[in-house]
């Protein structure tokens, strides 16, 4: 019970793995599990960036478009420039888009949902214009494909890189002043401001991290698909990323959440997608399940807030009596 209370997402992850293994025996094959890890890692980078933004009290709906733009930039520029330059350009572009989102949210006090929906459309349009809405098959070096197909100590390279990113993110959030300030700003922005915290710097940092990690996901996707594509790449990933964070206990209202929870959430969604394919379930059902998960996450948080308010009111009534 203690494990369930403290790490419910870990318990859910294990139960789902056992259940899917029973329903589809091939699910637990080593090759299939490696595929699940690679699939979950792509979403995992985006979900990890979303984790930072949500904890800081924001929202980023542009992540899928950033993935698409990064993929076409890397594939397209590699045809005329050294791949290392195209990779840096894509990572820089994603980071700048995140900074752009953060500046408009903080400097102009626009709602995050409005800012990031706008940038989602703009960035997707830029990617489509650059690629002429066609797949780009760039001249990519064999070393880049190791990001998708390489294996170290039995683990796929994308998974190891994702785990490393999770470790660094955990250390950052726990042991740096800026990391702790992200929780403070997301938990109570006004209190954080009165405490002397630079709210704009903190929020812009979270959006920049989200943009950068979304670009990393685009890099991994190019390595896996050996091409870049702007029309369908990353569509719906913002919903999956939010769901992965919510499954892992990240509050959609800010101030609460862990990297471990987000990691488990990404693995749960990756397992679900893989199991649905193995079981022959219509993939549209996955969208329904993810939508229900988000609804449950918001409802559970709201009910928790309602209970705290009712408890506080009850306490005040008793003291007056």
Q: What is the pLDDT of residue 289?
A: 79
Q: What is the pLDDT of residue 190?
A: 93
Q: What is the pLDDT of residue 134?
A: 93
Q: What is the pLDDT of residue 306?
A: 46
pTM above 0.85, yes or no: yes
Q: For tokens 């719906």, what's the residue?
A: 236
Q: What is the pLDDT of residue 90?
A: 96
Q: How far apart are CA 309 and CA 123, in angstroms?
A: 41
Separation of CA 292 from chain center? 18
Q: How far apart are CA 321 and CA 319, in angstroms?
A: 5
Contacts of 90 (CB under 8 A, 6+ apart): 69, 70, 71, 73, 74, 77, 215, 218, 219
Q: What is the DSSP string of 218-283?
A: HHHHHHHHSSB-SSSTTTTHHHHHHHHHHHTT--TTSS---HHHHHHHHHHHHHHHHHHHHHT--T
pLDDT averages per 10-residue partition of the chain, 321 residues: 69 88 90 90 96 97 97 91 91 97 94 96 96 85 78 88 96 96 95 95 98 96 90 92 90 91 93 89 79 71 51 54 52
Question: For the chain, which residues make up each domain, given as ranges?
Answer: 8-284
Domain 8-284 has what CATH class? mainly alpha
Q: What is the pLDDT of residue 54?
A: 96
Tokens of 188: 């109570």
Q: What is the pLDDT of residue 309?
A: 46
193 with 21: CB under 8 angstroms?
Answer: no
DSSP 8-state code for residue 155: E
Question: pLDDT tens-digit profile of 80-108?
Answer: 888 889 999 999 999 999 999 999 999 99
Tokens of 248: 């892992």
Q: How far apart are CA 173 and CA 252, in angstroms?
A: 17
Q: What is the DSSP string of 112-148?
A: HHHHHHHHHHHHHHHHHHHHTTS-B-----HHHHHHH
Question: From residue 139, how far is each of 31, 83, 85, 136, 281 by CA, in Å?
Answer: 28, 8, 13, 10, 37
């Amino acid at each position: 019970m203690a494990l369930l209370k403290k790490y419910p997402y870990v318990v859910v992850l294990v139960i789902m793995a056992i259940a899917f293994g029973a329903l589809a025996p091939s699910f637990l094959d080593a090759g299939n599990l490696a595929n699940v890890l690679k699939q979950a890692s792509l979403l995992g980078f985006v979900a990890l960036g979303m984790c930072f933004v949500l904890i800081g009290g924001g929202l980023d709906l542009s992540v899928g478009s950033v993935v698409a733009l990064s993929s076409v930039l890397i594939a397209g520029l590699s045809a005329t420039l050294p791949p290392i330059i195209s990779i840096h350009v894509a990572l820089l572009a994603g980071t700048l888009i995140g900074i752009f989102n953060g500046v408009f949210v903080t400097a102009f006090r626009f709602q995050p949902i409005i800012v990031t929906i706008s940038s989602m459309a703009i960035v997707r349009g830029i990617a489509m214009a650059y690629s002429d809405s066609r797949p780009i098959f760039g001249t990519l070096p064999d070393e880049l494909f190791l990001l998708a197909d390489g294996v170290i100590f039995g683990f796929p390279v994308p998974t190891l890189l994702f785990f490393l990113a999770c470790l660094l993110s955990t250390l950052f959030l726990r042991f740096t002043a800026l990391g702790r300030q992200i929780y403070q700003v997301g938990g109570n922005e006004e209190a954080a401001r009165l405490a002397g915290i630079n709210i704009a710097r903190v929020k812009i940092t979270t959006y920049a991290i989200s943009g950068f990690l979304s670009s990393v996901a685009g890099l991994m996707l190019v390595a896996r698909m050996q091409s870049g594509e702007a029309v369908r790449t990353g569509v719906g990933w913002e919903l999956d990323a939010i769901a992965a964070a919510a499954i892992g206990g990240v509050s959609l209202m800010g101030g609460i959440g862990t990297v471990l929870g987000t990691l488990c959430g990404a693995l749960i969604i990756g397992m679900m997608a893989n199991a649905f394919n193995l079981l022959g379930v219509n993939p549209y059902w996955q969208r329904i399940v993810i939508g229900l998960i988000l609804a449950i996450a918001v409802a559970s948080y709201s009910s928790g807030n309602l209970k705290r308010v009712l408890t506080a009111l009850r306490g005040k009534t008793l003291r007056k009596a």
